């Protein structure tokens, strides 16, 4: 049986008295992009730092291609490419100088360094900036150089911590596409605290909140699992707020314009049917209802109260 690319067992880490993560466990056994989603301070960076050998865990085990990263860190790290949240760039070096240095650190034989640098520059779209100082590059191209250093030794696993953080919309789209291309022939862990980033990029999702995994499954299952908690209704004759809150299941209303209102509602209530009935009865002339996705805070609250029992082989 083929070894998983990554296998994490009962991983826990404590800073002083507080547990940053507790009993984290998952496997990644195929190419593609796994999203590691969690709010700021949830434990994502601690998990990735341990996975990449930057931090030694208090408890638990990390296997990379079957190799225990604590017992044989050098061999395990040969199989990992890591881009931390703050890319480890030397701004006074040119792109070529920096990538040659990274190749040397990764034990690439001197005779193969030029080819390795050329391949990764082309893949990451920075070949035309070979002689440019990294400090003179835009944020998007600096991020590409950071990704290039994570790929230069052709790892089995690439770990990217908030890779689109601080980029403009066009740069985000470019980096997303690059990550998809990278994932065609290797496994990628993509960390973010922004749900839309994970949705746009990942096939599978692992959610961490308060140091524990609260959800592990495919992105498709996640979208089916999370119920909406609000809707936007458009009416020609907009009622008063008190009339809307009198509808069974309505918790809160927010008027968006003269003809639109956001309605937050209790779970398990057929709220759309209740609003339609009230509109017909009171002649509000309802013309449209659009369900909205839950806020990220609401999703975490749902999942923390009802942890998924499903585990995934991603």
Do 134 and 244 have their domain in common?
no
Q: If pLDDT is split at 50, 70 and 90, which confidence band does 312 have? A: very low
Average pLDDT over residues 93-119: 97
Residue 46's domain comprises 6-225
Do 30 and 112 have their domain in common?
yes
Sign of CA dihedral 148, 153, 158, 159: negative
Contact 191, 48 (CB under 8 A): yes
Tell me whether residue 245 is in a domain: yes
Tell me whether residue 209 is in a domain: yes
**pLDDT value, residue 34:** 96
Do 217 and 248 have their domain in common?
no
Between 301 and 97, residue with greater pLDDT: 97
d(CA 198, CA 204): 9
Per residue in 16-50, pLDDT tens?
888 999 999 999 988 899 999 988 888 999 999 99
Whether the per-residue pLDDT at 1 is higher than 60: the answer is: no
Do 139 and 31 have their domain in common?
yes
CB atoms within 10 A of CB 309: 6
Do 239 and 216 have their domain in common?
no
The mean pLDDT value of the chain amounts to 89
Per residue in 216-232, pLDDT tens?
998 888 776 666 778 89
Q: If pLDDT is split at 50, 70 and 90, which confidence band does 90 have? A: very high
Contact 192, 39 (CB under 8 A): no
Distance, first Cα to last Cα, the chain: 16
pTM score over 0.75: yes
Per residue in 56-82, pLDDT tens?
999 999 999 999 999 999 999 999 999
Do 167 and 266 have their domain in common?
no
Share of the chain above pLDDT 70, in %: 91
- C-alpha distances (whole Å) from 21 to each of 9, 37, 156 are 12, 14, 25
Question: Which DSSP letter does residue 247 get?
Answer: S
Do 15 and 30 have their domain in common?
yes
Name every residue whose Cβ is closer than 8 Å to that of residue 262 and which is 6 or more positions away in sequence.
230, 231, 232, 253, 254, 255, 256, 292
Q: Which element (helix H / strand E) includes 151?
A: helix 139-151
Tell me whether residue 240 is in a domain: yes
Share of the chain above pLDDT 90, in %: 68
Number of domains in the chain: 2
Contact 109, 172 (CB under 8 A): no
Tell me whether residue 153 is in a domain: yes
Do 162 and 284 have their domain in common?
no
Contact 89, 96 (CB under 8 A): no
- Residue bearing tokens 């990992």: 80
Whether the per-residue pLDDT at 54 is higher than 70: the answer is: yes
Per residue in 231-268, pLDDT tens?
899 999 999 999 999 999 999 999 997 799 999 888 77
Do 216 and 240 have their domain in common?
no
What's the number of CA atoms in the CB half-sphere (13 Å) around residue 224? 6
d(CA 24, CA 213): 6
**pLDDT value, residue 86:** 85
**pLDDT value, residue 310:** 44
Do 155 and 256 have their domain in common?
no
**pLDDT value, residue 313:** 45
Do 31 and 161 have their domain in common?
yes
Tell me whether residue 66 is in a domain: yes
* CATH code assigned at 276: 3.30.70.100
Do 234 and 219 have their domain in common?
no
**pLDDT value, residue 309:** 43
């Amino acid at each position: 049986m083929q070894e998983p690319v990554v296998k994490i067992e009962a991983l826990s880490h404590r800073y002083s008295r507080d547990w940053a993560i507790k009993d984290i466990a998952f496997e990644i056994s195929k190419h593609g992009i796994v999203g590691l989603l969690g709010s700021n301070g949830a434990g994502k960076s601690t998990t990735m730092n341990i996975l990449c050998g930057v931090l030694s865990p208090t408890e638990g085990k990390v296997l990379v291609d079957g190799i225990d990263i604590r017992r044989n860190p050098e061999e395990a790290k040969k199989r990992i490419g890591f881009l931390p949240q703050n890319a480890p760039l030397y701004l006074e070096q040119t792109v070529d100088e920096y990538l040659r240095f990274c190749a040397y650190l990764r034990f690439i034989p001197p005779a193969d360094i030029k080819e390795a640098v050329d391949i990764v520059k082309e893949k990451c779209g920075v070949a035309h900036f070979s002689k440019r100082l990294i400090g003179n590059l835009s944020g998007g191209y600096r991020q590409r150089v950071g990704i290039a250093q994570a790929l230069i030794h052709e790892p089995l696993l690439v770990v990217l911590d908030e890779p689109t953080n601080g980029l403009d919309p066009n740069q985000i789209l470019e980096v997303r596409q690059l990550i998809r291309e990278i994932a065609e022939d290797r496994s990628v862990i993509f960390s973010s605290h922004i749900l839309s980033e994970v949705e746009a990029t990942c096939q599978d999702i692992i959610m961490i909140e308060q140091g524990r995994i609260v959800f592990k499954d495919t992105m498709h299952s996640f979208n089916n699992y999370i119920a909406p908690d609000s809707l936007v209704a458009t009416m020609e004759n907009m009622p008063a707020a008190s009339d809307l809150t009198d509808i069974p299941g309505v918790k809160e209303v927010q008027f968006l314009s003269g003809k639109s209102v956001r309605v937050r509602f209790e779970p398990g209530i057929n709220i759309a049917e209740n609003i339609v009935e009230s509109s017909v009865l009171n002649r509000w002339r309802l013309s449209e209802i659009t369900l909205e996705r839950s806020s990220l805070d609401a999703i975490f609250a749902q999942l923390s109260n009802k942890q998924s029992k499903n585990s995934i082989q991603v």
